[in-house]
Chains A and B, each alone.
Chain A
C-alpha cells in the first residue's frame, strides 16, 4: 500500500501543504521584526559613512534610532537636483525610496535621496551630504553610501555592502580598512571635472599623493571595477545637486 502511486501523491501533497503553511506562518509572524531590523541596518549603513563602525556597534538599537533622528535630515531630488516631494501622486521620503528598484529605471527617471548629516538639532549646520550608491559587483548587487563634505569635493567616508561577493576577496569591500582608504580623497579634479575616486588594480601601493586614486584589493579587481563604476555613476547622477550646493555656498561666501 505504501508503494502505491495514490499513497505517494497523497503523502507528498499533505507534506507540501503542511510545510508551506509552516513557512508562510513563520514569515507572517517574523515579518514586522525583520522589516524593523532591515530599517535599522539601513540607518547604520547611512551613519557608517560619517561615524566609525565601532561607535555604531557600541550603540543599542534605540540609540541608533535616536542618533539618526537628531543628526540626519533628508530630501529627495531628481536628476536635475530639484527637490521632489511626490511621485505619481504619492508622497516620497528619502527613507522609503528603494534604491534597488529605482536602479532598474532609466537614470533620468529615478528618485535620488540625499541624507544630510548635520549638527545636533540644527539642520542648517550641515556637516556632510550622504548619497546612496548602487551597482553591480562580480556576482551580484553591491551598494553603499558615500559622504561628501560641505566643500562638495572631499570624501568624508563610505560604507559598502554586497549581496554575494567572494568571501575574503570581493567581500572585503565591507572591511573598514578598505573603506577608510576613501577618506580625504576628492571627487573633482583641478579643472572642475567630476573624476570620482578610483580603486586601482593590485594592492599595497601608496596613493597618498594622488587625490583620486586609492589602493585596490588583491584578487578582487572586478569587484573593484564594479565599485568604481558605481561611485562614478551615482556621483554623476547627483552632480546637479552637488553643483547647486556649491554655487549656493559661493553666493553665501560673497
Chain B
C-alpha cells in the first residue's frame, strides 16, 4: 500500500525535461543579458590580463568553465550539509582545490601554457564569477540546475575574453591562434603592401579599449542602462 502511494506521488510530478525552457534560460541568460563581464562587470582582471593571444585565452576559458561548473556541482550537492556560519570558507576550500587541480594538470601536460598562465589560473580562486555563482545559485538549487547555471556564466565569460583576445591578437600581433593572418594578407597584395600591427593592443590598455567597445555595442543593442 505504502509503496503504491509513493509511486503515484512520483507519477503526479513528471520530471522536468532535461533541457526545459527554464533550464535553457539558465545557460543562455548569462551569455548576453546577464553577462558576468559586460553587465555584472565581474572577472575583469583576468579578462584584461590573459587576452593578448587566443591560445592562452582559450586554455583560461576552459579552466574557468571547469572550475565554475565543478564548484557549482560540489557545493550544490553539499548545500544541505554545509554549516552556514562557515559556508564562505567551505566554498573557498572547494574552489581553491579545483583551481590547484587545474594548475597541476596544466603543469604536467601543457607546461608552456602553465608558464604563461600560472599566475592567472591561480587567480581564478578570486574570480568573483565563481564565488558569485556559488553564493547566488548553487547554495539554493539542485545539482543539475547549478551545473547549467555555472556553465552558462562561464560561457558568458569565455566568449567575451575570446572576442577580446581575437581582436587584440589580430591587431596587436597580426595573427589568430598564432597563424600570421597579416602576413598572408600582405602576401596577396604584393611586396609593397604591408599591414602594420598596433603595439597598444598588446599592452593592457588595448584590452580596456576593446572591452569598452564590446560593452558599448552590446548596451546599444540591448538597451541596458545601469541604475
A-side residues, CB < 8 A to B, are: 2-3, 7-8, 11-12, 15-16, 19, 22-23, 26-27, 30, 33-34, 37-38, 40-41, 161, 164, 167-168
Contact = CB atoms under 8 A, between A and B. Distances in A.
B90 A15 contact: yes
B85 interface: yes
Contacts of A38: 111
A200 to B, nearest CB: 19
20 contacts: A3-B83, A3-B85, A8-B85, A15-B90, A15-B93, A16-B93, A23-B100, A26-B105, A27-B104, A30-B107, A33-B108, A34-B104, A34-B107, A37-B107, A38-B111, A41-B111, A168-B52, A168-B202, A168-B203, A168-B204
Contacts of B97: 19, 22-23
B49 interface: yes
Contacts of B94: 19
Contact of A19 (B49, B93, B112, B204): B93
Interface string B122-160: 000000000000000000000000000000000000000
Interface residues of B, number: 27
Contacts of B185: none
Interface of B is mostly: helix
B109 interface: yes
A26 B203 contact: no
Contacts of A41: 111-112, 115
A26 B90 contact: no
B81 interface: yes
Nearest to A20: B97
A146 to B, nearest CB: 20
B40 interface: no
A254 B203 CA distance: 54
Interface in B55-110: 81-86, 89-90, 93-94, 97, 100-101, 104-105, 107-109
Contacts of A164: 119
Given A3-B85, A12-B86, A37-B111, A30 B52 contact: no
Contacts of A33: 108-109
Interface of A is mostly: helix
A148 B180 CA distance: 32
Given A2-B81, A2-B83, 9 more contacts: A3-B83, A3-B84, A8-B83, A11-B83, A12-B86, A15-B93, A23-B100, A23-B101, A26-B104
Contacts of B49: 167
Contacts of B93: 15-16, 19
A156 B100 CA distance: 39
Given A30-B105, A167-B204, A11 B82 contact: yes
Nearest to A40: B111
Nearest to A2: B83
A61 to B, nearest CB: 10
A158 to B, nearest CB: 18
Contacts of A12: 86, 89-90
Contacts of A8: 83, 85-86
A82 to B, nearest CB: 35
Interface in B15-53: 49, 52
Given A26-B101, A164-B119, A7 B83 contact: yes
A15 B111 CA distance: 30
Contacts of A40: 111
Nearest to A169: B203
Contacts of A23: 97, 100-101
| Nearest 5 Cβ contacts at the A-B interface | A37-B111, A33-B108, A30-B108, A8-B83, A168-B203
Nearest to B105: A30
A205 to B, nearest CB: 16
B108 A37 contact: yes
A167 B85 CA distance: 39
Contacts of A19: 93-94, 97
